[in-house]
Amino acid sequence: MSRDKKLIIGNWKMNLNTHEASLYLHKLSQIVAVRRDVEVVLAPTLLAVQSLSLQIDRRQFKLAVQNLYWRDHGAYTGEVSATQLRGIVDYALIGHSERRHLFNESDKDTRNKVQAAIRNHIYPVLCIGETASERAAGETHDVLHDQLVGGLANVTSEDLESVIIAYEPVWAIGTGDNALPGDVAKAITAIRSQIKHLYGPAAAKSIRVLYGGSVKADSAADYLATEGVDGLLVGGASLDAHAFVEIIKKAHNDSIVVKK
Ligand code: PGA
């Protein structure tokens, strides 16, 4: 997918049960117009992914998982593989900071999961970002570098075309303490220059990079107008249909409505 199309992902985290998720999707589907310039992706609880996949109009919404396991099959109690999710979801969040910090996911885990997603035709959304203390120590760019190199090791130039990077400063997630657009621009420039170093200038130009961290309806437009930002990863505000629809509207840059 080209960078002309903005990507807006709603990460519902561990909220909404199957019934609530279905009602919420129904509500959203009544008000979100299908447009060529925006892709709207919903990341519900894993429990609801299968049933929502039967309910959605894939021209209007795509589905993402919030996590997956990298082995394809086997004795891995409690896990769900990319192979099992193939055909059900189009995207997978990989290495979200809550996975890294609450569930001790390492760069090696994210690397294996990125590979598993690609192998199974699921777009990996590799989430990277610094903590408050790393930021205070001036280590932001080093952290981004390490998480990128760690997560993308073994990804070929060809496979990189299906990878999306989400810059999510950990201190901005769920805190209301959102990053300044100027700082986001600097971090994304650092990300693209690292991609350039690893894969060359064309890849640095074409890779899609999202911002996430306390995005609200009133801050979405500023981030979307920020140099290098191709979309948003929205947590809390995606649970409020009104706020989420307002955020999606901010991503439209023309008035072509394909379907209402
Ligand atoms: P937030 O979450 O919008 O609630 O800060 C973002 C995320 O976790 O992806």
Q: Which domain holds residue 22?
A: 6-255
The answer to whether the CB of 95 is under 6 A from ligand 1 is no
Please give the full DSSP string across 39-107, using - where no structure is assigned: EEEEE--HHHHHHHHHH--TTT-EEEES--BSSSSSS-TT--BHHHHBTTBSEEEES-HHHHHHS---H
Question: Which CATH number characterizes residue 31's domain?
Answer: 3.20.20.70
- The whole-angstrom separation of Cα 85 and Cα 172 is 30
The residues carrying an active-site annotation are: 96, 168
Task: Label residues 1-19 b or e (16+ Cβ within 10 Å = b).
Answer: eeeeebbbbbbbbeebeee
Atom of ligand 1 nearest to the CA of 98: 8
1 lies in a domain?
no
260 lies in a domain?
no
Domains: count for the chain: 1
Q: Give the pLDDT score at 43.
A: 98
The answer to whether the CB of 101 is under 6 A from ligand 1 is no
Q: Give the pLDDT score at 34.
A: 84
| 184 CA → ligand 1 middle, Å | 15
The answer to whether the CB of 150 is under 6 A from ligand 1 is no
20 lies in a domain?
yes
DSSP SS3 for 208: strand
Q: Please choose from 14, 168, 170 the residue to mutate so as to test ligand 1's pocket, defined by most ligand atoms within 8 A of CB.
A: 168
pLDDT in tens, the chain (260 residues): 778 899 999 999 999 999 999 999 999 999 998 888 999 999 999 999 999 999 999 999 999 999 999 999 999 999 999 999 999 999 999 999 999 999 999 999 999 999 999 999 999 999 999 999 999 999 999 999 999 999 999 899 999 999 999 999 999 998 888 799 999 999 999 999 999 999 999 999 999 999 999 999 999 999 999 999 999 999 999 999 999 999 999 998 755 444 54
The answer to whether the CB of 169 is under 6 A from ligand 1 is no
| 127 CA → ligand 1 middle, Å | 11
The answer to whether the CB of 233 is under 6 A from ligand 1 is yes
Q: Give the pLDDT score at 256.
A: 44
Q: Looking at the DSSP assignment, which residues form a beta bridge with residue 27?
A: none
